[in-house]
Chain A
Amino acid sequence: MENFSNETIDISSLPQYQEVQLDPMHPNYWKVIVLNICITLIFIIAVSTLLFLFNEELRPYILYASLAIIAFAVFLFVIFRLSFQRRGLAVREKDIIYSSGILSSKTTIVPFNRIQHVALNEGIFSRMYKLGALEVFTAGGATGNIKIHGMAIDQANKIKELLSESLNNGI
């Protein structure tokens, strides 16, 4: 008890999360997103081509369908580009900050001493560019977890090590 002190804290002197410079996603992750969008589009185009080949009644609408697909493609690219640009990550001494959102800006902060475990996922395309998704789990349930796509594997592993170090020190 002798070490106990209880001084008034000046809230403005506390570290301010909003002043932290967030790192953008790895540029290569955009390529992964583009690859994924292209595959989706190729699939849609293939299905509609088949439909038009085998169903003659639909043929008059071919122009509208192509326009709709083009509009959808543009929409996908714009949305994903925006979402890509608005994601940001920062690792501080004691916590990890992740920010995202198109219509809203959402920032989640997980203190290291509350992390339960960390997982690293690698998709097929991500692996081509040496990228991975880092997932940080807390006891706060699904909404309290964060998943960071498109991190360089090296960086993700570094963070993972850092986290498991602080996890072990905590116990």
Chain B
Amino acid sequence: MESSQFDFSKPRRQSAAGIIFLFSNTLYTLIKNLAIPIIIAVTRSDNSFFYVYVGLSVMVVLVAIGAYLKYKYFTFYLNESDDEFIINEGVFIKTNLTIHLDKIQQVNINQSLLQRIIGFYTLQIDTAGSDKKEGIIRAMDKASAEELKRRLLSRTDNREKSKVISSIDANEESNSSNPFLKLSPLTLLKIGATSNYGQTIALVIAFLAAGFQSLKDIFDIFEVDKDQVGQAFQHGITFLSIGIMIVVILLFLLIINIARTFIKYFDFEVFKQNHSLVVNSGLLAKRNTFLNPHRVQVTTYTQNYFQKKLNLLDMRMQQNATVSQSNKETKSSDVEIPGCSLNERDKILLMIFNEIPTKGIQHTPNYRFVFLSIVFWIMIPGLILLLINNWSYPLLAYLPYFTAYIAFAATMIYYSYRNHRLFVSQDYIMKRHGIWDIDHQILLPYKIQAITIKQMLWHKAANIGHITCHTAAGDISFKFGNYDTLKNLMNYWLYQVESSEKDWM
């Protein structure tokens, strides 16, 4: 019945195109790291062109041989009798990775730009537990990748299904083909215009820093007259041009932000599959993430002022974080939905919690919450300026600016206090915080791993304390609450964790 293409029980290699992929991948990394030395070598050396080219060709051949060997020694198979998936790899140092099917948390099928051109996919296996075993198969054709994914998850799915009442199954299967949520280009435009500025700014700065370094290298190579460049800069800077420059920079950031949003979330679709959500997105590199509601540890939705006006929300479902603390690929276990309406948010919440979480009793922090921020953001800067003013350089002329800064900082601190709230109901813990982007984090009490309660000595008389819930997706703390109330909450949550029979993962 099984065709040989889908026979995973015998050791098999990746698709032959994997060689091309491994080859170009290694070559790309190599070129990226060696580009500047190579350029220098080519431009600086007058008559040793020959050696440079020979060196480069040897390098390319070595990379090709390396890619072939890597391909040849990489095998994987499914041991169905023992429920294990085994990957063998390594040319000189052999590695044998055995993943028990029960421990598989999710299987992702991704596609980078290059893979898209060749038409192949990467299959990535995330496992539960803190051991950092992770399996990656870098080149597979779509049909076998999906078949393998199905087989790998078959045990997990069975286990999940047995937990859930089976009557829901029928009608869920039927609507799995239409997307549960789809982002239109217009929504993407709105998202790009309103959110994630911080990330974009950080990215641009990192990019500029790298670019500046390369520019300097290029100047050094071609021995451009630095004074000339410097003069050109100095001439250019006048008040008007600074104003224009700020506007240009802001526009530039906006455009980059929108472009980034499009690249990352183009064709963003969420499907319902059995009891899970499948998220597809990406313009250049396709990403395919799998979200199991049972495994969600913390659900967060975020909204800022602009987004509120446009009825847009950002949602993030964090799964077990310890699996992936090791590297950047971790983020793959978090699922982000960059833009959804209130209505769609409720649909997703319904899917995860089987109901829409209620907010419950509101807990307000003590006014002492603002003290530390005031000291750090207002008093210390003020003191420093005062010292400079008295001892070295008069700053009185800048007083209006400083007053404006204080007003700004005070507003920020006020909002951070106003938004810092904890809502506790019988089944949910919800924490709200943030200044501009306001987060709501939702946690089910039985997903708490440990609780810490803390009181500073000088807060004893005021009866104030801090509480932190440690979860598998990070800590959630509420600060400057009433200590007696927090103690009660601690006892209550412990009772819920210890009496609950539900599995947290």
Contact = CB atoms under 8 A, between A and B. Distances in A.
Interface in B454-505: 454-457, 468, 470-472, 474-475, 487-488, 490-492, 494-495, 497-498, 504-505
Contacts of B475: 140-141, 143-144
Nearest to A146: B450
A18 B487 contact: yes
A141 B321 contact: yes
Contacts of A75: none
B218 to A, nearest CB: 44
Contacts of B504: 114, 139
B497 A111 contact: yes
A17 B505 CA distance: 26
Nearest to B165: A1
B322 interface: yes
Contacts of A139: 130, 320, 322, 449, 472, 504-505
A9 B445 CA distance: 15
B452 interface: yes
B457 A103 contact: yes
A104 interface: yes
B321 A95 contact: no
B453 interface: yes
B181 interface: no
A16 B491 contact: yes
A134 to B, nearest CB: 15
Contacts of B491: 11, 14-17
B28 to A, nearest CB: 34
A109 interface: yes
A104 B449 contact: no
A104 B492 contact: no
Given A14-B492, A143-B468, A114 B487 contact: no
A115 to B, nearest CB: 9
A6 to B, nearest CB: 9
B448 interface: yes
A110 B449 contact: yes
B497 A114 contact: yes
A106 interface: yes
A40 interface: no
B191 to A, nearest CB: 30
B183 to A, nearest CB: 32
A121 interface: no
B451 interface: yes
A106 B491 CA distance: 15
B3 to A, nearest CB: 38
Given A139-B130, A143-B475, A113 B449 contact: no
A47 B220 CA distance: 48
A106 B450 contact: no
B459 to A, nearest CB: 8
A116 interface: yes
Given A11-B491, A116-B130, A143 B454 contact: no
Contact of A140 (B456, B471, B488): B471
Contacts of B470: 138, 140-141, 143-144
B311 to A, nearest CB: 35
Given A18-B487, A103-B457, A140-B450, A111 B498 contact: yes
A52 B456 CA distance: 42
Interface of B: 129-130, 320-322, 325, 448-457, 468, 470-472, 474-475, 487-488, 490-492, 494-495, 497-498, 504-505
Interface of A: 9, 11-12, 14-18, 94-95, 101, 103-114, 116, 137-141, 143-146
14 contacts: A11-B488, A15-B491, A17-B494, A103-B457, A106-B455, A109-B452, A111-B497, A114-B448, A116-B130, A138-B450, A140-B450, A140-B470, A141-B325, A141-B475
Given A105-B457, A106-B455, 10 more contacts: A11-B488, A12-B488, A94-B498, A106-B453, A109-B490, A114-B448, A116-B129, A137-B130, A139-B130, A144-B475
